[in-house]
Amino acid sequence: MIFVTGGAGFIGSNFILDWLAADGRPRHADSDEAVLNIDRLTYAGNLENLAAVERDPRYRFERLDICERDALLALMRTHRPRAILHFAAESHVDRSIRGPGEFVRTNIEGTFALLEATRAYRGELSASESEAFRFLHVSTDEVYGSLGPRDPAFSETTPYQPNSPYSASKAASDHLVRAYHHTYGLPTLTTNCSNNYGPLQFPEKLIPLIIANALAGKPLPVYGDGMNVRDWLYVGDHCTALRRVLAAGRPGETYNIGGNNEMTNIAVVRTVCRLLDELRPDAQGPRERLISFVTDRPGHDRRYAIDARKIAGELGWQPSETFETGLAKTVRWYLDHQDWVAHILSGAYKDWIAANYTGR
């Protein structure tokens, strides 16, 4: 069995569906290995994401806060995982600006509690079990800060310069994971990924927000001048990379995972509009008419870019999707799953959108 923290969120749920070859996804050699999903079910945690596996005997769910060290250790002793994949995190920059305390609690204190429980659990394993055990920490490229237009892409040795409460809390969690490897010998693996997109993403993030608003004929908010650059990684490619790191990554190492797709935010928005116009035309005209530039977020990083040569060279992984193919799959998924979107939009998310964008 493996443990997945934050498995009801966007990337975590995609990983579980991929791991168990559910929802029409291809089988892998380890698809019969069971998964225990640990999630507190905050606003972005959605068990509807995992409807395809809820009755699968290989899948189990535990509603639990990762800050609860003793409860985590009890679960480990009961189910004896051979690996823990740590996705659980507060992850939205705007939310971290409005309320940084929850990011410190979950991303730093929660990671600390999970590491402490894991250290105690691993100390109880046999020598062979201990040797085979892995702790994979899923992090972000935002810990590296912001790049200029001609700066080289982030590598695994780029100094940390986080610029938001979110990225600072993730940077702290990365440092804790590194320390537990070097101090206690915990066989850790850390991945720093670029901007994910794809099915099941909560519609506060750029691409699903633009899709939802465009279909509803609402303004498409773009921060500042729209020229902030991100490297875009299709979530299915990310899942494949994580499998590879778990299987063959060297303990104590960090692997950057990128999609090789640098694009400005405004180019992303316009591409989404064109796809929607092709797949579901609007009688009112091209959806680019809905683009609305809003006041930029404080401290908005200008550019992220990932140098993924290490994972390619050491582990043989490269993304299989271009931005065009991945975005086409994403837009079609949202068009085909409007019930899922409606369930999300009927909740507290509406209040968040109003608070964050009204008056910008």
Report the candidate in 303, 307, 212, 223 with the shortest Cα–Cα distance to residue 263.
303
pLDDT band of residue 297 (cuts 50, 70, 90) is confident
Residue in 144, 166, 234, 255 annotated catalytic: 166
Q: Tokens standing for 307? A: 């140098």
Spatial CA neighbour of 140 closest among 96, 187, 83, 186: 96
Confidence of residue 45 (pLDDT cuts 50, 70, 90): confident
DSSP 8-state symbol, 193: E
Question: How many other β-carbons are positioned within 10 Å of the β-carbon of residue 126?
Answer: 8
Q: What is the CA radius of gyration of the chain?
A: 20
What percentage of the chain reaches a pLDDT higher than 90? 84
Catalytic residue among 18, 39, 142, 307: 142
- Other C-beta atoms closer than 10 Å to the C-beta of 80 total 13
Bridge partners of 262? Answer: 231
Q: Which residue has the tokens 């401290």?
A: 299
Q: How large is the greatest C-alpha to C-alpha distance in the chain, in angstroms? A: 67
Closest Cα to residue 8, out of 31, 35, 42, 57? 42
What phi-psi label fits residue 297: left (phi over 0), alpha (psi between -120 and 50 degrees) or beta?
beta
- Residue 184 falls in the annotated catalytic set: no
Locate the domains of the chain by residue range: 2-198+234-261+300-321
Task: Give the C-alpha separation, 177 to 171, whole Å.
Answer: 10
Q: What is the pLDDT of residues 221-276, one digit of tens each?
A: 999 999 999 999 999 999 999 999 999 999 999 999 999 999 999 999 999 999 99
Domain 2-198+234-261+300-321 in CATH: superfamily? NAD(P)-binding Rossmann-like Domain (3.40.50.720)
The reported pLDDT for the residue numbered 359 is 61
Query: How much is the pLDDT for 360?
Result: 57
| 321 or 24: which leads in pLDDT | 321
Let me know the angle formed at the C-alpha of 68 by 238 and 38, rounded to the nearest 5 degrees.
Answer: 35
- Is there a contact between 300 and 223 (Cβ–Cβ < 8 Å)? yes
142 as an active site residue: the answer is yes
Rounded Cα distance, 69 and 78, in Å: 14
How many CA atoms does the CB half-sphere of 302 hold within 13 Å? 7
Written as six digits, the tokens of 300 are: 């908005």
Is residue 166 annotated as part of the catalytic site, yes or no? yes
* Residue 291: count of CB within 10 angstroms of its CB: 17
